[in-house]
Amino acid sequence: MTICSIQFIVVYVVVMRMSEKRKEYSVLLVDDSTLDRKLHSHMLMRSEEYLFDVKEVSGFDDVLSSLKNSQLPDIILLDLNLGNASGIDILLLLEGEGYEIPVILVTVEDSDKVAILAAQAGAEDYLVKGAFNAKHLVRRVVSAIERHKHRQHIQVLREDTQGKEASKQQLDFATLVSHEFRTPLAIIATSTQIMRRYPLVSEHKECQKHLAKIMRAVRHMDSMITSTMDFSRLETGKLAFAPAWFDFHALLENIIDDYQQLYPAYQIVFDGSAVPVRYFGDHRLCQEILENIFSNAVKYSSQENAIHCSSKSDADGAFGIIISDQGRGISANDLDHVGTRFFRGSNAKDSDGTGIGLYLARRFMQLHHGELSISSEEGRGTQVMLKFASSTLAEATNLQQQKQAGAA
């Protein structure tokens, strides 16, 4: 082999090694000795296997300043004795501030007492000055970082498993409670309807008035149970979305008729000329969307002002339903937060509600490739716009998702 060939091979090996991507780690080096800082920094930065980004600081206050003003390091190399401060104090401070950064204590004393002290303070490891070389330092630093990352990964997996189990238990409990509540509610509703047909009761206006109150309370409680169940299923990924063709216009008409019977003192003005007879969507979820909006319109309006429900359509087959009232409205400060889960407006505290109705309505609209938007002014009413995508788009998207699920 010629000298030129050997030189070529050497150059090639060097270039290849330089081109290999080295794993990067960031290190905060804390030591009040400039000589020791430079020595330990040099040991790390001359590593050919790893790339270390080393930042050097000398004292107690510098540590906090560095952590607050820059990206957190992967590890801290911390001198045990910092003149007027102790590395143990910094360890305790890091724990108190909630920083989860592995720390290696560096000390001049090699004793069991120091080892125990370091472990009790939460140090990942400790090194004795003058007793390690560059290779040894790199190995201990990388091992400490990777051990810490592994523990964090295990903790995340454990919390995720516990969270899923808790969510399952929550859903099981909600299902059980829902069943236990719905059984007596059904009995109350049926008995009330029978009583309303009795001749003496049907002719007695005061009795009819109180029976109507019972029916409204039953309807409200049943709605709250449904919303709670849907929320639990949505949060745990168990919500069933089953789109199919149905008569959207009939659904909307039936809901309005129900509310007119439940709340005869309220006038609902309806123009559904643009609402399609055939629509591809989830009938139950669409019903939940509309009932949530009408429920709020009745709840936050007075009987003197009508509730308006109008509709409009686009050339591409999309259509919108606009439900507006002249009730108490929503304050400007609250408007951006309406529709987030558990949020209730500052002027709605005196009314019943869970704060999840609009949140669910918005999420259900997203499942239908639609949008829910709200415009309101406090004291002047609220307008809710439901924009549904065309059935063609919804059906095509659903069929594509079914194919992908089948292929998986």
- Which stretches of the chain drop beneath a pLDDT of 70? 1-21, 159-182, 200-202, 347-354, 392-408
21: number of Cβ within 10 Å? 6
Parallel/antiparallel/unpaired status of strands 50-57 and 319-324 = unpaired
Round the CA-based radius of gyration of the chain to a whole number and report it.
Answer: 34
**All structural domains of the chain:** 10-132 (3.40.50.2300), 241-408 (3.30.565.10)
- The C-alpha atoms of residue 42 and residue 35 are separated, in whole angstroms, by 11
- Each residue of 279-337: pLDDT tens digit? 999 999 999 999 989 988 888 888 888 899 999 988 888 999 999 998 888 888 888 88
d(CA 185, CA 306): 30
Q: Rounded to an integer, what distance in angstroms lies between the CA atom of residue 144 and that of residue 73? A: 13
**Contacts with 92 (C-beta within 8 Å, 6 or more apart), sequence order:** 121
Angle at CA of residue 276, ends 271 and 279, nearest 5°: 140
| Whole-number Å distance between alpha carbons of 345 and 324 | 18
CA within 13 Å, CB half, 209: 4
Amino acid at site 360: L
> DSSP character for 129?
T
Q: How far apart are CA 36 and CA 121, in angstroms?
A: 23
**Length of the chain, please?**
408
Q: What is the DSSP letter of 317?
A: S
The token pair at 9 is: 């091979």
